[in-house]
Amino acid sequence: MSSFGDPAEFLASLDFDKKLAHYDIRGSMAWAQALFKADVLSNDELKTIVNGLDTITEELNQGTFPFRIELEDIHFNIERRLIELIGPLGGKLHSGRSRNDQIATDTRLFCKDAINNILVLLKRLQKTLVDKAESNIDVILPGYTHLQRAQPVLLAHHLLSYFEMAERDVDRFNRAFDRVNVLPLGSAALSGTPYTIDRESLAKELGFENISMNSMDAVSDRDFVTDIEFAASMTMVHLSRLSEEIILWSSEEFGYAIAGEAYTSGSSIMPQKRNPDIAELIRGKVGRVAGSLISTLVTLKGLPLAYNRDLQEDKEPLFDAVKTVEDSLDMMAGMVASLEFNKDRMNANAQDGFLLATEIADYLTRKGVPFRESHGVVKALFAKIIEDGVTLYDLDIDYYKAFSPYFEEDIKSISSESAIAARDVVGATSKLQVKRRINEARSGFKDDEKR
């Protein structure tokens, strides 16, 4: 190589941290008020600074703000523009403040908004799942373990399992929000501001619930970033699991469901195909979000106190993880709403007699046979059914009694419907329990709307 690259370009973070411009303005507005209350700024100086920041906000909104890469980051860009607009007074705004506590504050403000938006998207997905479950309350399909048909379940019960996963995601993001909701502003570079700033009032002004208790920790803490990235990673894992089921169910081998045309793509060579590409992309993006978490963890590992330039590397993974999970939640809600189920195929497969093996063992147990013994009897019974090439529905009572005298005529009443109805404990697949959970979910949505 004939020349070296430009170190200034390598140092610059403007390409990505300009996303925080409006948050930086919010923090600066609040800081100006705090400086006024601390007698650092006069009332006229405060008004001039606020007017200048208002002008910058208009420029940002109109796309006319003069971003300059040579100024490194969004903080210096806004400060320089403020000085251009109002003169040297603009430099007074930085009194008692450092880029260290400034970026920590901007990032937390961004994270609060991001979490709130993700929570809205999660709730929308949950509502979509509940709607789909309720409209398919009578549909039965095989439940699977190890991708082998296991026992009959209601389709609604299956769909609501993803409601429960999303419920845990909501809880994780709410907990992350609590840890984000701490104001670091006033920590300055690492030792705290030398001015008599009312940090409690400053926190209230910016909408923070708490203030940081150690200035060195406050400027170097990025735990809240990893909290969000972990919550986002788990959300993506859950979306990926649902995507995988949609992909499987869309195959001819299953033939259980198909997503709306907008959520599928055709083949470039095979005109008959409808590929579940949106589901595949969501499944593929899990690694991207989990990679953001790993990237931030590795960046934080071994950093000495307090601020280090390594922390500049926290924002791109964070921004990407937030955008990816937002987009994926949006697409998943639309795709679930568009799903069309092959109810006849599901119901037909749910009538597979082998799915009733556990129910027959339970039948014997209710007659007084220890379950482990019942298990052995039914295993032998089904081995014989396979050997004879018959189905469960071909058997007469003598066939059953050859395996246990406890079998009686009422064994013929066992069906997928009766097996589902028998599972009538909280959290199980009976229609009563599933309807109860749907009603609880809807009550929760109403409570959310009131808050």
Per-residue confidence band for 448, with pLDDT thresholds at 50, 70 and 90: confident
Return mean pLDDT, the chain: 95
Domain range list for the chain: 7-95, 100-348, 352-450
pLDDT digits (tens, 9 = 90+) for 6-41: 898 999 999 999 999 999 999 999 999 999 999 999
Catalytic center residues: 146, 267
Res 422 pLDDT > 80: yes
Per-residue confidence band for 271, with pLDDT thresholds at 50, 70 and 90: very low
Res 431 pLDDT > 70: yes
* Averaged pLDDT, 387-400: 93
Q: How many residues does the chain have?
A: 451
Q: d(Cα 390, Cα 397) in Å, to the nearest integer?
A: 14
Contact 142, 349 (CB under 8 A): yes
Distance, C-alpha 448 to centroid of its chain = 18
Q: Which residue has the tokens 């003069």?
A: 66
C-beta neighbour count of 7 within 10 angstroms: 8
pLDDT at residue number 100: 98
pLDDT at residue number 273: 58
User: How many alpha carbons fall within 13 Å on the CB side of residue 188?
Assistant: 13
What is the topology classification, in CATH, of domain 100-348? Answer: Fumarase C; Chain A, domain 2 (1.20.200)
Res 266 pLDDT > 80: no
* Averaged pLDDT, 151-173: 98
Q: Which amino acid is at 264?
A: T
Concatenate the DSSP letters of all residues of 313-359 into one string: GGHHHHHHHHHHHHHHHHHHHHHHHH-EE-HHHHHHHHT-GGGGHHH
pLDDT at residue number 269: 47
pLDDT at residue number 272: 54
Contact 289, 316 (CB under 8 A): no
Record the tokens describing residue 137, joined without a space. Answer: 């309350």
- Using a 10 angstrom Cβ sphere, with 0-12 exposed, 13-18 middle and 19 or more buried, the burial of residue 388 is exposed
Sequence-ordered alpha helix ranges (H) in 136-272: 155-180, 199-206, 215-220, 223-250
Q: d(Cα 13, Cα 137) in Å, to the nearest integer?
A: 52
SS3 188: coil
pLDDT digits (tens, 9 = 90+) for 112-133: 999 999 999 999 999 999 999 9
What predicted TM-score, i.e. pTM, was given to this entire model? 0.95
Per-residue confidence band for 446, with pLDDT thresholds at 50, 70 and 90: confident
Per-residue confidence band for 3, with pLDDT thresholds at 50, 70 and 90: confident
What is 352-450's CATH number? Answer: 1.10.40.30
Q: How would CATH label the architecture of 7-95?
A: Orthogonal Bundle (1.10)
* Averaged pLDDT, 365-376: 95
